[in-house]
Structure 1
Amino acid sequence: MGVFTLPSLGSDMEAGTLVEWLVAPGDTVHRGDIVAVIETQKGAIEIECFEEGTVHALLAEVGAELPVGTPLASIVAQGELLPEPVVASVPDFPAPTLETQARQPKPVLATTPPAAVVPASPAARVRAHEMGIDLSTLKGTFPGGGIVLADVNAAAGRVRPERAKPASPMDEMRKAIAAAMSRSKQTIPHFYLSHTLDIQPALDWLDAHNQNSAPADRILLGALFVRAAVCAAEKLTVMNGHFADGAFTPCDHVNAGVAVALRGGGLVAPALINADQMTLAQTMAGMRDLVSRARAGRLRNSEMTQGTITISGLGETGAEAMAGVIFPPQVALVCLGAPQIRPWVVDGTVVPRNVVTLTLSADHRVSDGRQAAKFIAEFETRIMDPQNL
């Protein structure tokens, strides 16, 4: 019998709160199935199972704050003798708020919730249901206005004395980011290479493609950047992988982390899993989905932990360049400044062109300037030929 434990959802995570079970004793589970929801400083994260078999017992209570590594459930593998299903001090699922939606398949492309749906974490919905509180009357403190458990507790007057003045979700997120980035700068010997690229061919291609495309099929410049970075990472594998326990392990696939700025502040970088197997259109759809779910506080643990290289951009406006901090245990981060119009030499003539400055942050334990320069050159080759991304 295997024991499924609470996984680490990032280098900055030490504990999380179990807010929802999506399985019960006797249920059959497969690798990759979502079995629970854990609330962390970065929002509610769906926990995927890495075991195959039948759930024998749930070993943690909803509402409990659990350290990383805490046993969550026992799972009997196929072929093993199945003991009588039991529930270890786990309360019945509240009805009806947690039942129907939990088992419905998730769409590939998430959409913005209807205006009538109040954005709130699962724990907040359960507590509001228990206390008879209308969520629409509350003001959420999570970035983007989402309602979290602390908001409902405050409204119900049920905040524990020692937490009479809890830190806001934004404060907790900033603390988590500060801890992770400080650890990264202290332990990873960063070096940086920058190069300014001509992206006029990419913008011209985008204009032509989007002109005759439906809104849902239009491609943004950021998707081209992600695809170019993925292609470069496939070729320069030294930039794509994890450094842990004193050694670098390159990854067979490219799981492209996409930095997402949350409304109200804060940052998360969930990964597009197997981005190397995606088309440009699939990459764009995947990015829309990640952004939507990140800002709703509903990401999956695999997306938060399995990134192999991260791409971060400043969007259409802003500073020309940015040098970022690597997300451990990754070994490279691609940063792109906002596009700028600059005089540029094309076929011996100076003309105005849209350009962008790419800055590659790399781990000197794994790579050096020559390999980083090759990565940038491959990125430039790809972005100049957008129709083949």
Structure 2
Amino acid sequence: MAEFRMPSLGADMEHGKVVEWLVKPGDYVHKGDLVAAVDTDKTVMDIESFEDGVVAEFLVDIGDTVQVGTPIARITATPAELPPPPAPQPPLTSGRISPDARSPLTAKEATPAHPGATGGHPEPGAKVPPPVRHLAHTLGVDVGRLSGSGAGGEVTRADVERAAAASGTRAPEPATAPEAHRVRSSPLARRLAAELGVDLPVVTGTGPGGAVTEEDVLAAVPPRGRSGEPGADKPAEAPPSEARPPAPAQPTAPGNAPEKALPAAPRQERAAAGSKAESLRQAIGALMSRSKKEIPHYYLATTLDLAAAMAWMQAANQQRPVTARLVPSALLLKATALAAKEVPDMNGFFTRGAFQPSSAVHLGVAVALRHGGIVAPAVHDADTLTLDDLMEQLRGLVSRARAGRLQRAEMADPTITVTNLGDLGVESVYGVIYPPQVAMVGFGKVLEQPWAHSGMLGIRHAATATLSADHRVSDGLRGGRFLARIDELLQTPEDL
């Protein structure tokens, strides 16, 4: 039996709060399957299992905050590895043999038919992707009894849904009824619904696959009185004899229209958002204070010539549909990843008094959250991705970060971080390094600037790139080479 512990989801993480269990005792999990959602000071992240096995029990309840490394669940060996149960001994009553002993049950018959104990485990070698397995758990379908219709016998969502429909007439057990009617939603939306008293099953989801989002929960909050006074959200009930006739409609001037009873962010939601934003701000402040105290920063800046990159991108976008068009950030991120691969002093971690370069480039991207604060999840192996793949992963990363559905690896292992404030009109940004990383790159707004070349003055697209680096690992020579390499790579955008 192994203990599943609260993982470290970042260098500055000291504790985490379990906000949702994505499995239940008796469920079979594979290494990499999502098992819980954990709320850190920065965001809500999904954590995965580190081994195969069966969930034996939970050691903490939803809402419990525990230190990193604290056991939160136990996972047993797989059913095939469990020792066989001892044969039951027939009870002796007055020297007679029990009637049950005359007809001994086989091991298979003696095993209780409980889906959480032995059912729901796929057959050895069966291919069941984690999302499909989670759907099967939610719908109460035993994937071990399904014949996969996918490639190589893989069990698909359609297989699970057909099995669920075929057994739809069977009433669910009381203990599993909530699982059968579970609503797709993010932990943030569920937490907000609980705080505001919103019934999620009646909310219409507008997110991916009909998932209920934070905005859907807020829209479902009953409208409150305009005065905002206590009891304003409760309709006044007057006896019929005292009912007043409706007042005649009064014409209103433009801009002075009567208030509409539209759902507004209630005080509880604002307080919860403010509390979360304040907690996030404190966590970021503590980490940045540590960074400035421990890391001897040095700063460099250069102006990138983006004439060739912008011309190539505009020509390429003319051949693409609108949804697949590239943006300048994709080119800047890819050039940064390639440069980090070539200049390894910028890519890695400073831990235990020594620098450990990383063989992979996991590019952290600073993402602003709706209620304030930022997180910097990673685009994994960014140097190996095509521009299209990088764009797709970047969109998914931003969406999950703002919906509170980041995964542990996306927050735990960025090897170098990029911040881009160009969309806000900022022309240059000098970042503070995220420890234990050793470098941060900043990009400003892409501008048309006067540019002198070969004695001729013209107008070119350009942007300011900055580098904040750790003087314990590199110096201005290596930092300058890194920025110069980014500029060189952008001169041949077709090779990115």
Partner Cα separation in structure 1 for residue 380 and residue 493 of structure 2: 22
Partner Cα separation in structure 2 for residue 171 and residue 145 of structure 1: 21
Partner Cα separation in structure 2 for residue 135 and residue 346 of structure 1: 64
Match of 2:178 in 1: 95
After superposition, residues 1-389 of structure 1 pair within 5 angstroms as: 1-77=1-77, 80-81=81-82, 95-96=178-179, 99=182, 101=184, 120-125=188-193, 132=199, 168-389=275-496
The one-letter amino acid of 2:191's match is: A
Equivalent residue of 2:361, what SS? coil
- Conserved? CA contact 1:313–1:336, under 8 Å: yes
Partner Cα separation in structure 1 for residue 356 and residue 444 of structure 2: 29
Equivalent residue of 1:224, what SS? helix
Partner Cα separation in structure 1 for residue 83 and residue 216 of structure 2: 41
Partner Cα separation in structure 1 for residue 286 and residue 53 of structure 2: 37
Q: Deviations over 1:209-266 (max 9, x none)?
A: 1122112211111111110010001111121111111121111211110111123421
State the 1:30 CA deviation: 2.7
Partner Cα separation in structure 2 for residue 98 and residue 366 of structure 1: 54
More deviation, 221-230/51-60:
51-60
Partner Cα separation in structure 2 for residue 100 and residue 7 of structure 1: 27
Partner Cα separation in structure 1 for residue 389 and residue 334 of structure 2: 10
Partner Cα separation in structure 2 for residue 38 and residue 44 of structure 1: 6
Q: Deviations over 1:355-374 (max 9, x none)?
A: 11111111111111111111
- Conserved? CA contact 2:190–2:200, under 8 Å: no
Partner Cα separation in structure 1 for residue 216 and residue 69 of structure 2: 28
Unaligned runs of 5+ in 2: 86-115, 118-174, 204-213, 222-229, 231-270
Which of the two has greater helix per residue? 2
- Conserved? CA contact 1:18–1:64, under 8 Å: yes
Partner Cα separation in structure 2 for residue 241 and residue 147 of structure 1: 41
Equivalent residue of 1:352, what SS? strand
The number of equivalent residue pairs is 350
TM-score normalised by length of structure 2: 0.64
Equivalent residue of 1:303, what SS? helix
Partner Cα separation in structure 2 for residue 232 and residue 178 of structure 1: 29
Partner Cα separation in structure 1 for residue 84 and residue 64 of structure 2: 26
**What percentage of residue pairs aligned between the two structures are identical?**
44
Partner Cα separation in structure 2 for residue 192 and residue 67 of structure 1: 35
Partner Cα separation in structure 2 for residue 17 and residue 170 of structure 1: 16
Which of the two has greater strand per residue? 1
Unaligned runs of 5+ in 1: 87-91, 102-116, 137-143, 156-164
Partner Cα separation in structure 2 for residue 133 and residue 121 of structure 1: 9
Distance 1:95-1:134 versus aligned 2 partners, 3 A rule: closer
- Conserved? CA contact 2:306–2:490, under 8 Å: yes
Give the aligned CA root-mean-square deviation in angstroms. Answer: 3.2
State the 1:32 CA deviation: 2.2
Which protein shows a greater Rg?
2
Partner Cα separation in structure 2 for residue 200 and residue 59 of structure 1: 58
Q: Which has the higher contact order (CA 8 A, sep 6+)?
A: 1
Partner Cα separation in structure 2 for residue 14 and residue 146 of structure 1: 32
